[in-house]
Chains A and B, each alone.
Chain A
Amino acid sequence: MSSFGQPPPDSQRLRLVDNPVDRLARTVEALLVIAPRPLSLQELADAAEEDAERIETALGLLTGRYREGRSGIVLEQVAGGFAFRAAREAAEACARLVDRPTQRGLSQAALETLAIVAYLGPVSRPEIARIRGVAADSAVAGLVERGLIAEAGREEGGAVRYRTTPLFERIFGLQSLDELPALDDLGEDAEELRGRLEAMAERRGA
Chain B
Amino acid sequence: MSAAVSELALDLEAFEGPFDLLLTLVLKEELELADVEVAAIVLAFLKHVAARSEPDLEACGEFLVLVSALLELKARGLFPDEELDFDELDPDEAAEELAERLAAYRRFKSAAAWLEERLESEQDRFFRLGPAPVTPGRERPLLPEEPAKLAEALRALAAEPPEPSLRHLTLTFPPLGLFLERFRAVLKRRALFVFDREVDGLSRIEQAVAFLALLELRKAGEVSIAQDAPFEPITVKAA
Contacts and interface: CB of A to CB of B under 8 A. Distances in A.
A133 B18 contact: yes
Label chain A's interface by main secondary structure.
helix
Nearest to A132: B17
Contacts of A48: none
Interface in B119-141: 119, 121-133
Nearest to A135: B58
A84 interface: yes
B216 interface: no
A205 interface: yes
A200 B26 contact: yes
Nearest to A137: B58
Contacts of A183: 107-108, 111
B26 A119 contact: no
Contacts of A103: 119, 123
Nearest to B14: A108
A111 interface: yes
A17 interface: no
Contact of B108 (A116, A173, A196): A116
Given A35-B130, A88-B125, A197 B109 contact: no
B108 A112 contact: yes
Contact of A109 (B16, B80, B94, B107): B16
Interface residues of A, number: 56
Given A133-B101, A197-B98, A201-B92, A111 B62 contact: no
A187 B125 CA distance: 27
Contacts of A180: 111, 114
B203 interface: no
A33 to B, nearest CB: 10
A134 B106 contact: no
B107 A186 contact: yes
Contacts of A131: 101, 104-105, 108
A94 interface: yes
B20 A133 contact: yes
A116 B105 CA distance: 9
A150 interface: no
For the side of the interface on B, what is the size category? 35 or more
Contacts of A105: 6, 9
Nearest to B65: A133
Contacts of A85: 125-128
B132 A204 contact: no
Contacts of A118: 111, 115
Contacts of B150: none
A91 B120 CA distance: 13
A200 B59 CA distance: 25
Interface string A77-95: 0000001111010110011
B16 A134 contact: yes
A106 B6 CA distance: 11
A121 B115 CA distance: 16
Contacts of A90: 126
B9 A107 contact: yes
B146 interface: no
B124 A190 contact: no
A197 B99 contact: yes
Contacts of B205: none
28 contacts: A36-B128, A36-B133, A84-B127, A91-B125, A98-B126, A106-B116, A108-B112, A111-B112, A115-B108, A115-B109, A115-B111, A115-B112, A118-B111, A132-B20, A133-B17, A133-B20, A134-B18, A135-B58, A181-B114, A183-B107, A183-B108, A183-B111, A186-B114, A193-B102, A194-B103, A197-B98, A200-B31, A201-B95
Given A115-B115, A133-B17, 6 more contacts: A36-B133, A37-B129, A135-B59, A171-B119, A180-B111, A197-B95
